Amino acid sequence: MNPLAGRSPAITATRDGRFPDRAGFGRSWEEILETSAIWQGLDCGQYLKAWCGYAPDHVVERFAGVNHIGIYMGDYDNDDEVFGWHAHLHDLRTSGQVTTVEMGPSYISPRQYGTPGWWNSIVLADGRVIEMFACRRYGPWANRSADERGRLMSHVAVDVHTDTDVRHVLDHLDQAVDHLEKIAFTEADELGHTYGHVRNNDSDSVLEIVYEAPRAGTGHSDGSH
């Protein structure tokens, strides 16, 4: 079985649950690249089986590979911490390591966990997509353990073959497995993406299912987070 099965993407900089400071940006970036490379070859069917104990053929046959990984960068106290990281990503774009940098407010964290947050999304020169998340250290969110916060926001996103496959996979998992809960769904956003998230309430971890319609360019943005 794939050794990643049952885990979530993570970097060691977030083990204390805090967003890295500027001095730690370089190390965080190297870990993000290493983590992305490791997860890109994930066996998605094996991963689903280990993640929730259920992977019927009619679900697995809809999988087309890894679309992107999402990594929780930790909690912040001030938005400027996340803006500083965003500026660092733009510096990496200038150097040619990154082709696209996008940022936006979290959709899921205020609705599911009672705290605001941000996402950054990048495309590497080789086409890999990486998303990075941060939530404000606020309210009941701050009372969760660092490991739990990481599991709830970090995830792997699995590509499927058609837009209707997204709803099929999400709805079936939500209905077939008691401890799974569909927590978000967006159909045909402005970039042509259809995607949604299902949470494993036993392990406090998340899986995303994505269909990305063919389009010009390589940019990627996931405002559902």
Give 107-162 pLDDT, tens digit per residue: 999 999 999 999 999 999 999 999 999 999 999 999 999 999 999 999 999 999 99
- The pLDDT, as a whole number, for residue 220 is 44
Q: How many helices (H) and strands (E) does the chain have?
A: 7, 8
| Predicted confidence (pLDDT) per residue in 187-225, tens digit | 866 556 799 999 999 999 999 999 987 654 444 444 445
- The pLDDT, as a whole number, for residue 71 is 97
**Distance between CA atoms of residues 113 and 104, nearest Å:** 17
**Distance between CA atoms of residues 109 and 117, nearest Å:** 6
- The pLDDT, as a whole number, for residue 213 is 77
- Is 98 within 8 Å of 92 (Cβ atoms)? yes
- The pLDDT, as a whole number, for residue 221 is 43
On the question of pLDDT at 172 being above 60, the answer is yes
Mean pLDDT over the full length of the chain: 90
Helix, strand, or coil (residue 69): strand
Give the pLDDT band (50/70/90) at residue 98.
very high
**Distance between CA atoms of residues 157 and 131, nearest Å:** 10
- The pLDDT, as a whole number, for residue 2 is 56
Give the pLDDT band (50/70/90) at residue 6.
low
